Every structure is written in C-alpha cells, then in structure tokens.
Amino acid sequence: MGEKSSRLPGFYKRPLDERVDIVAEWAGLDAADVAVLKGQGLANEQADKMIENTLGTFAVPLGIAANFLINGRDYLIPMAVEEPSVVAAVSNAAKKIRAGGGFHTEATDPVMIGQIQVLDIPDMEAAIAAIEANQAELLEIANCCDRVIVELGGGARKIEARPFPDTPVGPMLIVHLHFDTRDAMGANAINTSLESLAPKIAELTNGRTNLRILSNLADQRTATARCTIPANQLATADIPGSDVAKLIEEANAFAIVDPYRAATHNKGIMNGIDAVCIATGNDWRAVEAGAHTYAARNGQYSALTDWHVDENGDLYGEITLPMAVGMVGGATKVHPTARAAMKILNVASAPELAQVMAAVGLAQNLAAINALATVGIQKGHMRLHARQVALAAGAQDGLVQKIADKLVAEQNIRVERAAQLLAETKETLNSVTG
C-alpha cells in the first residue's frame, strides 16, 4: 500500500466505468465490489431491512478524491456528495498539501461520553462522593454488556459527576461515563452500558434517573490534522504565493472572530467530512453535531481551523474536532457501497478513519478559503453548476459539457437557456446527419 501513489493524473477525463476499474485495481477490489460500484449499490430488499416504511433508495454521486498523502501513506478518498466542485476542490488542495509533505495526523483513543441525568437528589455532595467512592464497581457494571469491545481492550474508562445546581427544573446531577468503543462508533455499546448503570447510580445518589444517552460532543474522541504548504504552491497568475498565504490567514481570522463567517467556514469543512461519512456509512449527523458544538466550546462559535503564515513564510494549517466514526457495525457493514468504500480507504482502525476525515476537512477548508481569498468561489462553482443546469435541461453524454461551456461563456447559466442551446444544437446535428 505504502508505495502506491494517490496521484491520478487525467483520472477525471476517463469514462466512468474505466475510473471504477482504475480504483478497483489500485485498491484490490474484487469483482463483487466492482459490480456494486458500477451498479446501483444498495438494493431495495436491503434498504427495506434498514429503515421503516421503505419505498426505495435515494442515490447521491460517489466520487474519489485524489492526491491525499497522510502520515506518509497515500489514500484515495471515497466521497458521497451531491454538491459540484467538492471533490475537485479537495483533490486540488490535497495536491498543494502534498507538495509540503502531506498531512500529519493523530487521534485520541476512541472514547465516547455517555450521560445519565439524575434528579431529586436529597444531598448533592453526598451523591457525588458516593459516585467517586464506587468508581470501580460502576466501571465493572458499565463493562457488563459488550464483552467483545472489552476483550479488544476497550470499555469503561472513567465516571464523572457534573452537578447543575440551577436548572429550570431544579438541581440535577449529570453522570458521565467515558467508554472506549474501539473500532465501533459505539452508540449502541455506550447506550446499553448507560442503561445498565442507571439503577446503581439511582441507588448511590438516592435520586431518580431520567435520560441515559451518549453525548455527541465527543471531545474525548478527537482527530487532528496538520499541514504546511510551501508558499510558492499558492501562487496564482496575478498574486505571489506569499501574498496568498497571508490572504488565507486573514480569511481564517475572520472565521475565528465572527460566528456568521464561522458557520460558513465550518460548513465548508463539513462538506468534505460529511461526504466521507456518507460514503463509509457513518452517522454524519453525529459528526456534524460534535463539530459545531466543539466549535462553540469556548463560549463563542468559532472556526475549527487555524491557518497562519509560519516563520518560513509558508502556510501552516491545523484542525482538531470530535470524530465519532466507526468501521464495524451499522451501515458501514450493511451498505454494499460503504463496504467497497472502506476497502478503498483501507484503514486499520476507527482512529485512523477519524484522522483521514480530519485531513479531508482541513483540505476542503483550504480549497474554499484559497478560492475565496483569490479568484472568488463562483468561478469554479459556476463551471460545474453549468453542467448540472445542462443535465437538468435534458443534455446527455458529450452534449453536457458542450452546453455547459456555452452557458459559462455567455455567463447565463439558466435551464431555459440550456434548453434553447440544446434544441439549437440538436437542430444543427439533425440538418448535418439528415
């Protein structure tokens, strides 16, 4: 795996089937995976077993981001996303980051937090003391249920008592369970543990337990990605690279101080991370919830990234965010396309998957603020948007790009105009062939 390069020059120009073959060869996919990628992926019968009242499936495009070099290893990144330019932009950013040695990433142990709400406690101090004095027994009870995770070295790590003396319904105690879920996202494991733990917590506190559920603010389960981009990689036809680096630092500073900008800045990060979550069958709502709450952890919603010009004049970037993702169980194992995507990624553990996602988020953010700080976002977007407009007007095959190019040249990217152009082109073709 190590010696394989994720540089795929000209990949985007290849016909779709050939792209699947290239990736299949690269990742060692078998014929069944190739059939899944070339077909529709999730069959209705499988979908029917996944949720309730199923009608069918809802497909989104699956693409491959190229150029990722993470901790010295090349990765091809499967991304499921409906928004044009996300995959192209992240691949482009990863190429610039690659020129600086790629991403350096790390992740914590996959420790999820679960919460038990306790009310009607007669003596809060005594309740907290009782929980602290009984840690060992509580951890043992918490380890009752998922023996596989425990045997793999995971399981309950710590119990914490967090009093809230003043809430709209009076004082309450929130008990936190820290639980290492290994390669699982772990929602089921931790929720089951919490339910087993609650009666003992009620007994120790002389209180009444209400909610027992994991927290999506998974701040004990974070991933970090860092990179340094040589300033010359950022140069455009009009702007020297060192100036672009400074413009990117300014863009990031804007998102640090202003929540209105931070929302959009972080949305761009999640464009990439969500797409990998979806492709790998992970719960992107959980990751979204964690990311945005983490972004507000200091009391004001802010940027998840830091970008600044370093002492050599190069651009340094860093991101840390909660990353509750798994590689066993759930849709990751059930959805055939997710299974193929996981084979393409070829990660060995959930923390490795988390690191890949952090790298994708950092690259996606760089792509956005690099464009915003130089040519503006619309130029690239419009080119791709024009293809969708051409498709919406009914263009097929080679005509899609032809019509899209005309729309861009005319700066009139509307379905009505695309339909007109399509009709004109078809007329011309008919008169030539007829």
377 binds ligand MEV (CB under 6 A): yes
**How many residues belong to the site for ligand MEV (CB under 6 A)?**
10
In whole angstroms, the minimum distance from the beta carbon of 264 to ligand MEV comes to 4
201 versus 368: smaller Cβ distance to ligand MEV: 368
38 carries an active-site annotation:
no
267 carries an active-site annotation:
yes
183 carries an active-site annotation:
no
103 versus 307: smaller Cβ distance to ligand MEV: 307
Residue nearest to ligand MEV (CB): 268
- Which residue of 105, 222, 228, 271 would you call a contact of ligand MEV, by CB under 6 A? 271
List binders of ligand MEV among 79-118 (CB under 6 A): 83
Q: What is the dihedral of CA 178, 174, 283, 331, to 10 degrees?
A: 70
155 versus 268: smaller Cβ distance to ligand MEV: 268
Contact pattern from residue 14 through residue 53 relative to ligand MEV, giving x for each residue in contact according to CB under 6 A and a dash for the rest: ----------------------------------------
- Which residue of 225, 324, 369, 389 would you call a contact of ligand MEV, by CB under 6 A? 369
384 versus 395: smaller Cβ distance to ligand MEV: 384
CA–CA gap between residue 321 and residue 218 (Å, rounded)? 9
83 carries an active-site annotation:
yes
Binding region for ligand MEV (CB under 6 A) out of 315-323, 326-334, 367-375, 421-429:
367-375
CA–CA gap between residue 277 and residue 327 (Å, rounded)? 11
Contact pattern from residue 240 through residue 269 relative to ligand MEV, giving x for each residue in contact according to CB under 6 A and a dash for the rest: ------------------------xx-xx-
Q: Give catalytic residue positions.
A: 83, 267, 283, 381
Q: Given the rule CB under 6 A, which residues bind ligand MEV?
A: 83, 264-265, 267-268, 271, 368-369, 372, 377
